[in-house]
Amino acid sequence: MQAYFHDLVGELEKLLTGDERFLASFAGEDSDFVRFNRGEIRQAGTVSQRYLEVDLIEGRRHSSSEITLAGDLATDRPRLRHAIEELRATRPFLPEDPHLLYAENAPSSERVQRGELPDGAAAANAVQAMGAGHDLVGVYAAGPIYSGFASSLGQRNWHSAESFHLDWSLYRETDRAVKSSYAGFAWRADELDKKARRAEAQLAALARPPRTLKPGHYRVFLTPAALGELVEILSWGGFSFRAMRTKTTPLIRLAEEKARLHPSVAIAENVSGGVAPNFQEEGFIRPDRVMLVEHGQLASCLVSPRSAAEYGVATNGASASEAPTSIELDAGGLPTDDVLARLGSGLFVSNLWYCNFSDRSACRATGMTRFATFWVENGELAAPVNVMRFDETIYRVLGDNLVDLTSERELILDAQTYDGRSVHSARLPGALVDDFTLTL
C-alpha cells in the first residue's frame, strides 16, 4: 500500500506546471466487518477503500478535492489528471488565503504498527461462543488503517496501524441491556472472557425489580466508557487554541484560572499510543505527547497551522478542528476490583447517553444514564436503576468532587465507521465521584 501511495504521488508530480505546489493526504483501510444479532452472524464482509485529498497551491491561492481511488494505478491515473485540471481551472476564481500555512521543511517518516489479530472467522466464532444462550447484538471490525502525506517539496509520511474493536450488547428485555466493548491492537482471548463474565453478571442483576431514584446528589462510579462520554464533549473546543483566543472554549474558566480540576488530573494528547498518524493534512509533525492539563491546571492547547498563521504562534501539528485524536487521562489509585467496595452505597453507571452542554461557558453537561446502571448497597449490585438525567460540571466531576480514578485504564477505540473506520481513541480510567447531580 505504501508503494502504491508513492506511485500516486509520482503521478501528481508529473502534472504540476509553473510554480504550482501540492499537498496530498491519503486515507485507506482493509477491514473485516461482522454484524451479530441474537447471537448469530447476520452480515460478514471485507471493505477496501482508498481516498486521496489533493490541495493544489499557487502563491496564496489554493483549491482542494478528494478523489476516490480504485487501488489500481492504470485506473487512477486519469482520475488524478482530471482532478488536477478541475482544481487548476477553479483556483484563479478563489481569493488569496491569508492564513495558508503548510510544512516546508518537515521530515519524512514511516510508522507501521503491526497488530496481533485473529482472522475474521476465528473472531466471529469467538463472539458467537461468548454470546451462546444470550441475545447478543454487536459489530466486530478489524484490519489495517492507512494514512499518508506527501508534498511536492519532497516530504513523505506514512502510517499504518492494525487494530480491532468489538462493540456488543447483551439484551434481556425491552430496554434492559448490558453494553460492552473490547478494542486494541492485540486480541487476547482471556481479556474477552473477562469482559464477557462481567457482562453476564450485570445481565443477571438486570432481572431484579428496577428502582427509580429521586432527583438529588449521589455518590457514583463512572466506568471508563461513561467517563469517555464526558471527555468527548470536553474535546469540543475544550483544548482548542482558537477557542481559547475567541473565548468560546468550554474550559474558559480553567484558562482564566478562575477554576481548576483536581490536582491528580492530567490529560494529554498521546498520538504514540493511539491509531491516528503523527502528522496532519498540512504536513506538520505532531509531538508524541502534548500535555493539555497537568496537576489540574491548563498546560497547553492544540494549535492548528491556520491558527498559528492567524495569531502568530507556533503550531504543534493539530488538525483543523484542534480536537484531540488520541486523548488520555492519567490513572489514579483505585483498583478496579475494589470499585464496588469503595462505592459502598451509590450508583454504578456503565454508560451515559445523549450528552451535550447545558451551559457551555460553565463546562456544565447534561445527558442520560442508559445501559446497566445499578444501585449499589454495601458494595454489592442491589437493583437496576431506571433511566435518569444528570446535570453536572466538569469542575465538580473531575475537580472538587472527584474521590479517585481507577489504577487501570481502558483503551477505547471510536467505533464510528462513517466514510471509514475512525482513527480516534481514548485511554481512560473509571472515576469515583461524590455528590453527582441527578435532575429527573
pLDDT tens for residues 297-311?
999 999 999 999 999
Asked, for residue 264, whether it belongs to a domain, the answer is yes
Average pLDDT over residues 72-84: 96
Cell numbers at 87, concatenated: 482544481
Asked, for residue 142, whether it belongs to a domain, the answer is yes
Q: What angle do CA 127, 192, 146 make, to 5 degrees?
A: 80
Residue 62 has pLDDT above 90, yes or no: yes
Q: What are phi and psi of 330, to 5 degrees?
A: -60, 150
14 and 76 fall within a common domain: yes
116 and 235 fall within a common domain: no
Asked, for residue 377, whether it belongs to a domain, the answer is yes
277 and 194 fall within a common domain: no
Asked, for residue 83, whether it belongs to a domain, the answer is yes
**146: CATH:** 3.30.2290.10
What is the tens place of the pLDDT at every residue in 408-432? 999 999 999 988 999 999 999 999 9
Cβ-Cβ contacts under 8 Å for 270 (sequence gap 6 or more): 288, 289, 326, 327, 328, 427
106 and 146 fall within a common domain: yes
The residue from 205, 228, 263 where one domain ends is 205
Asked, for residue 41, whether it belongs to a domain, the answer is yes
Domain count across the chain: 2
Q: What is the domain extent for residue 122?
A: 2-205
Nearest-angstrom CA–CA distance, 239 and 255 = 10
164 and 244 fall within a common domain: no
Nearest-angstrom CA–CA distance, 8 and 68 = 12
pLDDT-derived band of residue 34, with 50, 70 and 90 as boundaries? very high
Asked, for residue 175, whether it belongs to a domain, the answer is yes
Residue 359 has pLDDT above 90, yes or no: yes
Cell numbers at 5, concatenated: 501511495
249 and 313 fall within a common domain: yes
Residue 174 has pLDDT above 90, yes or no: no
Nearest-angstrom CA–CA distance, 313 and 308 = 5
| H or E, element range at 244 | helix 241-245
Nearest-angstrom CA–CA distance, 196 and 179 = 11
- For residues 390-414, b (16+ Cβ closer than 10 Å) or e, as one string? bbbbbbbbbbebbbbbbeebbbbbb
* Contact (Cβ atoms closer than 8 angstroms) between residue 361 and residue 237: no
Nearest Cα neighbor of 40 from 142, 165, 129, 171 is: 129
189 and 265 fall within a common domain: no
Asked, for residue 194, whether it belongs to a domain, the answer is yes
Average pLDDT over residues 146-170: 97
State the pLDDT at residue 173. Answer: 85
The residue from 169, 184, 205 where one domain ends is 205
The residue from 186, 205, 224 where one domain ends is 205
Strands in 7-134 per DSSP E: 21-37, 40-58, 61-69, 109-113
196 and 221 fall within a common domain: no
Asked, for residue 211, whether it belongs to a domain, the answer is no
What is the tens place of the pLDDT at every residue in 319-348? 999 999 999 999 999 999 999 999 999 999
pTM score over 0.75: yes
154 and 247 fall within a common domain: no
Mean pLDDT value across the chain: 96
State the pLDDT at residue 289. Answer: 96
Average pLDDT over residues 356-379: 96
175 and 228 fall within a common domain: no
What does DSSP assign to residue 93?
G
Average pLDDT over residues 221-235: 96
Average pLDDT over residues 93-106: 96
* Contact (Cβ atoms closer than 8 angstroms) between residue 343 and residue 319: no
State the pLDDT at residue 370. Answer: 86
Average pLDDT over residues 285-296: 97
User: Which residues are paired to 58 by β-bridges?
Assistant: 61
189 and 225 fall within a common domain: no
117 and 227 fall within a common domain: no
253: left (phi over 0), alpha (psi -120 to 50) or beta: alpha
State the pLDDT at residue 175. Answer: 80
Nearest Cα neighbor of 167 from 351, 408, 362 is: 351
